[in-house]
């Protein structure tokens, strides 16, 4: 069995093998303890797995995220009732009401990028700007607040990124699968600190959202249509199993929240499986915020491309990915704007 020096190296090799064979078995070993995972990239195999009724239960390593009360990692019985209750909060009318928030955040991001580039057109990394803009969009549409006014905003993104990074590291560290052993590790201590910091941040803003709801009189439906239909307001008002969402469930569910145009040829897509490109998964347990994410990305891209030129010295073959809960490029300062 081949060993890898890092999680990223394991991911790269797995992608190469999957692309050549369509699927593969991966063994995770620590001493005499070994576990097997089946990786697949063929669209037909993906469709069979993601759409199968016996695959609605998340694998055990989703428990490592400690979001057991959310639809992202919750067990099937909890996911089923929560998903049914939350589906109406992502309809077309509500998503369209978020567009002004997306536009405002994108414009602010572009202004900050222009200031950083300056008149000389120096190179900058775009990822810190995008991360900050994403946080502002999420907070503006899910909890109805300006994140820049919230205490702890400076470290929230770093805490969230590091928390998910440690969870991903545990997924490929089989000796940390045993909770008792993991609790004696440095990773457990660090992960707990970052996770608790993220929870405190959102618990604070949820309390403010609840106070705002309680102090605001019910307005005319036509007037509501003109305002962004804040997700937290609907989440706190929604019910599953006849009961309102608890503060813990509300906090956990907030976390649950691109083609190459120059080479696009319509005939290349004819007869192509829908599972060739699934950025938000597929099947019954697909991402509930997929349309939300696509809409926010389109607004962000349009704002950037109208004001800035983008370039990079990297070629497609140079792109490397970070192993994590969300797929990210490991570029350092490779993404530039001029």
Cross-strand bridge partners of residue 24? 39
Within a domain: 8: no
**What does the alpha-carbon distance between residue 11 and residue 282 come to, in Å, rounded to a whole number?**
21
Q: 247-255 vs 76-86: helix axis angle to the nearest 10?
A: 80
Count other Cβ atoms within 10 Å, centred on residue 84.
12
Within a domain: 224: yes
The CA-to-CA distance between both ends of the chain, in Å, stands at: 46
Any residues with CB less than 8 A from the CB of 77 and at least 6 apart, and which?
none
Within a domain: 301: yes
Distances (CA, A) of 79 to 48, 56, 96, 142, 235: 21, 9, 26, 19, 15
Within a domain: 35: no
Q: Mind listing the pLDDT tens digit of every residue in the chain (338 residues)?
A: 455 556 566 666 666 666 666 666 666 555 555 667 777 778 888 888 888 888 888 888 888 988 877 777 878 888 888 888 888 878 888 888 889 889 999 999 999 999 988 776 778 888 888 888 888 888 788 766 665 566 666 678 888 889 988 998 888 787 888 899 999 999 999 999 999 988 888 787 777 777 766 766 445 444 444 455 555 555 555 554 455 555 555 445 544 444 444 555 677 777 777 777 787 888 888 888 888 889 999 999 999 999 888 887 778 777 777 777 777 777 654 444 44
DSSP 220: P
Q: Provide the number of structural domains found in the chain.
A: 1
Q: Which two tokens stand for residue 114?
A: 């222009």
Within a domain: 123: yes
Planar angle of CA 57, 164, 181, nearest 5 degrees: 80
Q: Residue 41: which of 277, 217, 232 has the closest Cα? A: 277
Q: 290-307 vs 127-142: helix axis angle to the nearest 10?
A: 130
Q: Which long-range CB contacts under 8 A does 58-63 form with residues at least 24 apart? A: 58/285, 61/170, 61/171, 61/177
- Please report, for the domain that includes residue 303, its CATH number: 1.10.630.10
Within a domain: 2: no
**What does the alpha-carbon distance between residue 98 and residue 295 come to, in Å, rounded to a whole number?**
9
User: 188: domain range?
Assistant: 42-337
Planar angle of CA 45, 164, 153, nearest 5 degrees: 135
State residue 299's pLDDT score: 93
In contact, 275 and 282? CB cutoff 8 Å: yes
What pTM value is reported for the model? 0.71
Within a domain: 33: no
Residue length of the chain:
338
State residue 107's pLDDT score: 93
**DSSP three-state, residue 27:** strand
Q: Which residue has the tokens 């990822």?
A: 127
Within a domain: 265: yes
Is the sign of the CA dihedral 299, 301, 306, 308 positive or negative? Answer: positive
């Amino acid at each position: 069995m081949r060993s890898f020096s890092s999680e990223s190296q394991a991911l790269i090799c797995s992608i190469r093998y999957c692309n050549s064979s369509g699927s593969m078995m991966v063994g995770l070993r620590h001493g005499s303890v070994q576990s097997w995972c089946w990786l697949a990239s063929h669209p037909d195999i993906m469709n069979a797995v993601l759409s199968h009724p016996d695959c609605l239960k998340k694998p055990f390593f989703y428990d490592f995220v400690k979001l057991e009360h959310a639809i992202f990692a919750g067990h099937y019985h909890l996911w089923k009732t929560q998903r049914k209750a939350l589906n109406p909060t992502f309809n077309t009318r509500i998503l369209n009401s978020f567009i002004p928030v997306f536009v405002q955040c994108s414009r602010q991001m572009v202004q900050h990028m222009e200031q950083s580039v300056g008149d000389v057109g120096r190179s900058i990394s775009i990822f810190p700007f995008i991360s900050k803009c994403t946080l502002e969009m999420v907070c503006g549409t899910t909890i109805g607040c300006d994140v820049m006014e919230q205490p702890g905003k400076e470290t929230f993104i770093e805490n969230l990124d590091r928390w998910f990074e440690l969870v991903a590291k545990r997924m490929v560290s089989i000796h940390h699968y045993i909770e008792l052993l993991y609790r004696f590790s440095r990773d457990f201590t660090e992960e707990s600190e970052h996770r608790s910091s993220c929870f405190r941040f959102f618990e604070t803003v949820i309390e403010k959202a609840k106070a705002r709801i309680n102090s605001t009189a019910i307005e005319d439906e036509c007037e509501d249509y003109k305002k962004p239909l804040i997700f937290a307001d609907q989440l706190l008002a929604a019910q599953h199993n006849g009961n309102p969402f608890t503060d813990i469930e509300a906090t956990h569910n907030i976390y649950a929240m691109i083609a190459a145009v120059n080479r696009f040829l319509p005939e290349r897509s004819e007869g192509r499986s829908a599972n060739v490109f699934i950025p938000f998964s597929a099947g019954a347990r697909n991402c509930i915020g997929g349309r939300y994410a696509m809409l926010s990305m389109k607004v962000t891209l349009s704002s950037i491309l109208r004001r800035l030129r983008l370039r990079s010295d990297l070629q497609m073959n140079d792109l490397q990915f970070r192993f994590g809960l969300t797929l990210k490029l490991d570029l350092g300062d490779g993404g530039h704007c001029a």
